[in-house]
Amino acid sequence: MADDIPWDQCNAKLDPAVADIVESFTAIELYLPDYNAKILPVIRSSKGRAWFYANWGYEESKHSLALGDWLLRSGHRTEKQMEELERRVFSTEWNLPEDNHLGMLVYAMVQERATWLNYRNLRQRASELGGDGALETILKHVSVDEMAHHGFFRDCVALYLKLDRTMVLEAMRSVMLDFKMPAINDLLDNNVRRLQQIYDLKIFDESAYYAEVFLPILQDLGVDRTELRRRNLGMRSVVVKP
């Protein structure tokens, strides 16, 4: 982080609307202790997923550090404001949105791609609304991580699809037809204002989710949209272990 970000290119005059959204994403990344602490007991019997999450947590830890450092170094936030943000984040606990390992796998696959899209679009907006070499570089690195995370979870889902297509489709239906980004929808204070800022700058909305998250995932996994809509009334087959 010290060497790969051109910190001297921080732009104090960047549109404050961009900094507000950076603050929201920093807060989402700050829930890392809950993300790691709650998923590990669910998937601990899978060495692949458990070891992946150990490394995933390290990578995610750099996201909030880099974004938080940018808010400070660019002058868009003070130390006191950052302390207040952290206090608010840590006063609320995040809980798993799905109650089983398969649901969480599908959720992680979707959430990582949605996060990639958010960061990619924010980088474009930062460039258009004043430009900031430091922030744009951070967002480039972070979005590469998010897409790589998405790729791992998607490949896991593809394996489970071969094992039990019915059950995976059920999990996909549950997660993907009503997807919400973590934390921002229910944990952060001022979440209505924060979500509105994200819509206003055209960072993420339903049509972007559909075109750049939902459809590409179905295509990558070889799942047809009609399969996802259809409720399968057959009996659940074998329980798939993580």
User: Would you tell me which residues interact with Fe ion (CB under 5 A)?
Assistant: 60, 63, 112, 146, 149
In whole angstroms, the minimum distance from the beta carbon of 63 to Fe ion comes to: 4
Q: Which of 115, 167 has the CB closer to Fe ion?
A: 115
In whole angstroms, the minimum distance from the beta carbon of 5 to Fe ion comes to: 16
Q: Which of 76, 150 has the CB closer to Fe ion?
A: 150
Q: Which of 7, 152 has the CB closer to Fe ion?
A: 152
Q: Which of 12, 148 has the CB closer to Fe ion?
A: 148
The conformational region for residue 43 under phi > 0 = left, psi -120 to 50 = alpha, else beta, is alpha
Q: What angle do CA 2, 122, 206 make, to 5 degrees?
A: 140
Q: Which of 29, 170 has the CB closer to Fe ion?
A: 29
In whole angstroms, the minimum distance from the beta carbon of 170 to Fe ion comes to: 25
Q: What angle do CA 194, 147, 141 make, to 5 degrees?
A: 75
In whole angstroms, the minimum distance from the beta carbon of 67 to Fe ion comes to: 9
CB 25 within 8 A of CB 122: yes
Output Rg (C-alpha) for the chain, integer angstroms. 18
Residue (of 67, 181, 202, 20) closest to 125 by Cα position: 202
The conformational region for residue 183 under phi > 0 = left, psi -120 to 50 = alpha, else beta, is left
In whole angstroms, the minimum distance from the beta carbon of 19 to Fe ion comes to: 18
